[in-house]
């Protein structure tokens, strides 16, 4: 293609094709059509404003960018779905609020975001790539007349790289379109390489961009004794305390404060009612055991019944009313009491077998299908993590703890254990309210009704293992008999 031009004295610059100049867009369009019809495809028009129909006149095919973007969008969509499926349903299965592992509705936001993200980047970068950008210099700038392209002139360029390009015939063709001027442009002689300062700057930016990555990798892999580097100091260190932290404000250093003895939070008044206690406090009083009196007086205290047996602080009163052990219980009580976070009986005896109270055996509220359904919901939210969905004590937390083999995990008791089956409902209610041994109480997070609902569901779970034919509705018994015979 390169052609020696005797007139060009200094060297032998390569031709970059011809540019024809026009005074208005109509002549440009007409010339473009002519060039197009002659079969040239490596052509371009330069105009001071957008000219309608120029694409068609030059024979420019519609861009394929939309299809590339469509592909990128689908890639984003499937990346998001596969990522979420892999993490949630395969690599680290984790039940969240009883939802299925692969939950499409939960995947929508991320899938949407990644679809948009991939498409947007592809649109932007694809546009640059398809237009051959960034272009640092253009040989057309060598032409002085070309400067007017941003002002009032229209140019048509036929590139020398066109496969049909022939210097003379292109010149004749363009001359036939009656241009204002016709000029051969030559390849740009200015250096094509980026100036070294720009390389230096880019190199610096690249190195700087590695710093965060290096810092993260160092933190993940290294073992540094020093506290980490805080960028947002005031966000990392806020003047507040979190649960389980310590404090110097209180003598016992605990930041999670127990209920102040003798106070009742608004709306949490616990009456001397088996509904709130799980046992019958009136029967309790007659049993006269030191432990039990403590419990009752604590309950009385909560109920704020000054006229009753315990008008003052629970421990003081019980100590004086207890004829057998005058002082010891009063001393023990404060030590045993604070850890109980529940508003219900504050005195949770730490005795191994738990308190032996006159448990109620009848539900203090109506048990129907909706109550059991509520119990199922709450059990699956609060209890199943440890006790498992069927109550066998094989919940996810338990299984994880077994895996870790740290040695101090106490397996959750199975609700099908004969000992638990034999427990009166009041006892189970009490366990849920106040906890038992290593299990924390749920009295603060579940209303009494919800706790009774869970009791009813625990009973249903237990019954499900010990059902007999009498439990089956009469009309359905025949079906079971049939199934039995078929076996």
Residue 436 makes contact with ligand HEC by CB under 6 A: yes
Cis peptide bond N-terminal to 320, omega within 30: no
Provide, rounded to whole angstroms, the least separation between the CB of residue 237 and ligand HEC: 31
| φ, ψ (nearest 5 deg) of residue 10 | -60, -60
| φ, ψ (nearest 5 deg) of residue 482 | -60, -45
Residue 437 makes contact with ligand HEC by CB under 6 A: yes
Looking at beta carbons only, is 372 or 420 nearer to ligand HEC?
Answer: 420
Total residues contacting ligand HEC (rule CB under 6 A)?
Answer: 22
> 254 with 260: CB under 8 angstroms?
no
Residue 428 makes contact with ligand HEC by CB under 6 A: yes
> 355 with 347: CB under 8 angstroms?
no
| φ, ψ (nearest 5 deg) of residue 139 | -60, -25
> 446 with 268: CB under 8 angstroms?
no
Residue 382 makes contact with ligand HEC by CB under 6 A: yes
Provide, rounded to whole angstroms, the least separation between the CB of residue 384 and ligand HEC: 8
Distance CA 99, CA 119 (A): 31
Tell me which residue has its CB nearest to ligand HEC.
Answer: 437
Provide, rounded to whole angstroms, the least separation between the CB of residue 244 and ligand HEC: 15
| Cβ count near 460 (within 10 Å) | 15
Stretch that binds ligand HEC, among 41-49, 53-61, 71-79, 436-444 (CB under 6 A): 436-444
> 318 with 310: CB under 8 angstroms?
yes
Residue 439 makes contact with ligand HEC by CB under 6 A: yes
Distance CA 399, CA 483 (A): 35
Distance CA 119, CA 75 (A): 9
Residue 387 makes contact with ligand HEC by CB under 6 A: yes
Residue 456 makes contact with ligand HEC by CB under 6 A: no
Residue 389 makes contact with ligand HEC by CB under 6 A: no
Residue 454 makes contact with ligand HEC by CB under 6 A: yes
- Calculate the dihedral angle through the C-alpha atoms of 307, 358, 313, 322, rounding to the nearest 10 degrees: 90
Looking at beta carbons only, is 117 or 381 nearer to ligand HEC?
Answer: 381
Provide, rounded to whole angstroms, the least separation between the CB of residue 112 and ligand HEC: 35
Looking at beta carbons only, is 120 or 385 nearer to ligand HEC?
Answer: 385
Provide, rounded to whole angstroms, the least separation between the CB of residue 327 and ligand HEC: 29
Residue 386 makes contact with ligand HEC by CB under 6 A: yes
Residue 412 makes contact with ligand HEC by CB under 6 A: yes
| Cβ count near 485 (within 10 Å) | 7
Q: Which residues bind ligand HEC (CB under 6 A)?
A: 354, 382-383, 385-387, 397, 410, 412-413, 415, 420, 428, 431-432, 436-439, 442, 454, 458
């Amino acid at each position: 293609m390169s052609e020696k031009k005797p007139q060009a004295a200094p060297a032998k610059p390569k031709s970059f094709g011809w540019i024809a100049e026009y005074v208005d867009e109509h002549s440009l369009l007409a010339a473009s059509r002519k060039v197009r019809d002659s079969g040239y495809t490596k052509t371009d028009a330069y105009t001071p404003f957008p000219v309608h129909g120029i694409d068609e006149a030059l024979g420019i095919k519609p861009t394929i960018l939309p299809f590339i973007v469509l592909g990128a969008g689908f890639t984003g969509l499937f990346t998001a779905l596969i990522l979420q499926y892999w993490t949630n349903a395969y690599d680290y299965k984790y039940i969240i609020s009883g939802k299925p592992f692969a939950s499409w509705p939960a995947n929508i936001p991320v899938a949407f975001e990644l679809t948009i993200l991939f498409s947007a980047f592809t649109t932007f970068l694809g546009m640059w790539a398809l237009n051959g950008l960034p272009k640092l210099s253009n040989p057309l700038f060598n032409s002085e007349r070309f400067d007017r392209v941003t002002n009032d002139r229209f140019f048509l360029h036929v590139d020398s790289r066109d496969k049909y390009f022939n210097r003379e015939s292109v010149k004749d063709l363009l001359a036939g379109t009656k241009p204002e001027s016709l000029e051969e442009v030559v390849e740009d002689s200015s250096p094509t390489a980026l100036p070294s300062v720009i390389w230096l700057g880019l190199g610096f930016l690249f190195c700087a961009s590695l710093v965060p990555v290096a810092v993260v990798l160092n933190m993940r892999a290294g073992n540094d004794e020093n506290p980490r580097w805080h960028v947002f100091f005031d966000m990392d260190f806020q003047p507040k305390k979190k649960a389980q932290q310590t404090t110097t404000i209180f003598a016992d250093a605990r930041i999670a404060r127990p209920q102040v003895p003798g106070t009742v939070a608004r709306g949490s008044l616990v009456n001397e009612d088996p509904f709130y206690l799980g046992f019958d406090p009136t029967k309790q009083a007659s049993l006269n055991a030191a432990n039990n009196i403590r419990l009752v007086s604590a309950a009385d205290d909560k109920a704020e019944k000054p006229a009753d047996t315990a008008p003052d602080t629970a421990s003081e009163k019980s100590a004086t009313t207890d004829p057998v052990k005058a002082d010891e219980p009063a001393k023990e009580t404060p030590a045993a009491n604070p850890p109980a976070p529940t508003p219900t009986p504050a005195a949770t005896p730490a005795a191994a077998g738990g308190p032996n109270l006159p448990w109620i055996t009848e539900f203090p509220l109506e048990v129907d299908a909706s109550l059991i359904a509520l119990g199922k919901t709450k059990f699956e939210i609060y209890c199943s993590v440890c006790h498992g969905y069927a109550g066998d004590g094989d919940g996810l937390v338990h299984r994880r703890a077994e895996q870790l083999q740290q040695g101090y995990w106490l397996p959750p008791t199975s609700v099908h254990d004969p000992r638990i089956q034999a427990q009166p409902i009041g006892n189970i209610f009490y366990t849920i309210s106040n906890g038992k041994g290593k299990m924390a109480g749920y009295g603060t997070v579940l209303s009494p009704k919800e706790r009774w609902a869970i009791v009813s569901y625990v009973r249903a779970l237990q019954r499900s293992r010990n059902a007999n034919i009498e439990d089956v509705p009469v009309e359905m018994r025949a079906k079971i008999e049939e199934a039995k015979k078929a076996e």
